[in-house]
Structure 1
Amino acid sequence: MFITIEGIEGGGKTTQVGLLAAALQARKLAVRITREPGGTRLGEEIRGLLLHSATRVGRLAELFLILADRAEHVEGLIRPALRAGDIVLCDRFSDSTLAYQAYGRELPLDAVRTVESVARQGLRPDLTFVLDCPVDLGLARTRRRRGSAAADRFEAQDAAFHERVRRGFLALAGEDPQRIVVIDGSRPAEEVHRAVLAASGERLGISWR
């Protein structure tokens, strides 16, 4: 089972990945937690370049760096973990590429879909959660979380960019409602966790009681 958690900055993805992993592990299930960008040695190097480097990266170069990360991630970590019978929980995957690079950066959606499908090599998540919240709330959360640290490349974008990304996630959810579950990420983390458990339990055949 391959589960991804998506959403704008400050939506609570990383928190919910950890909470869901703990709930699954409490049921003695094998869980592999990973993230994008990142997840592999190459991916973590790309993550540093994408998020924190002062080097200018254009829209297309950014897209192809993300796709290089994905290709390595799928081949080197995700598929092997799935073959081993693990549940893979990933903080961002293909929907983030469409939302950020096509909607946010305004690259042609069809072109981004085409090259992204090559990078993921036919792999699709079985279940995706989009944690949706207003942009101003999400950005306020990221500011509180990072404190005095500098914003990363995506956090530093203006509100209009993040509004486009949010609209992108919701549009993608509307296209694929069987896979993508939208959850109100503005609620307290424990309430969001209960909603994630309900949907994942139904898909996995688990009663959490």
Structure 2
Amino acid sequence: MKRVLLLLTLSLFISCKNKTEEVKTEVKENPEFSALHDGDIIFQTSLSSQSQAIQMATKSVYSHCGVIYKEADKYYVFEAIQPVTKTPLEKWIARGKDSHYVVKRLNAAKNGLKDWQIREMKEAGKEMAGKDYDLYFGWGDDKIYCSELVWKLYHKAGADLCPTQQLKDFDLTNNAVKQKLHERYGSNIPMEEKVVSPAALFNSNLLYTVTSK
């Protein structure tokens, strides 16, 4: 009888041990992301219908961006799509052209942003989550587009990553750009609208590249 009980106990121990190992395997983080910190900014070339126009107008291959957060051992990108939401990082990367991405960080925060900065960004993010994507690239807070989201989150954290521009500052001569502007605005293009582009963030002298692939 004792032998039977001993075997049962041993069997249960092994079973529990294996289940624990399985759980650990499931949440094991991708070593590719080990250098990332909360608040890092990630860029990609979007495959959306407006991506080409953004690239032509801003003279940059990068047309989409978001902010990385780590929650419960998993990485997410807080981004302005439809609607503003957080997306698992691996899914976000796979959605871009050739799964290529670049991650940047503040020069003044090589070991990551301060705790209060992350808190401010996440609090501001709560107000933006669920809002519609802004197809018209307006500067108001009722709707949000990707680079506007990143800029405003960092503004709340005490860092203005780049100067804002006006729509007229971009190259609007390309046919793809003209077509997209006509679709959005008709003949009433708001040339003096305050805007910030993914390219302006990417080229900010306040940021350095952490990793790219």
Q: Normalization by structure 2: what TM-score? A: 0.29
Structure with higher Rg: it is: 2
Q: Normalization by structure 1: what TM-score? A: 0.29
Greater relative contact order structure (CA < 8 Å, 6+ sep): 1
Bigger strand fraction: 2
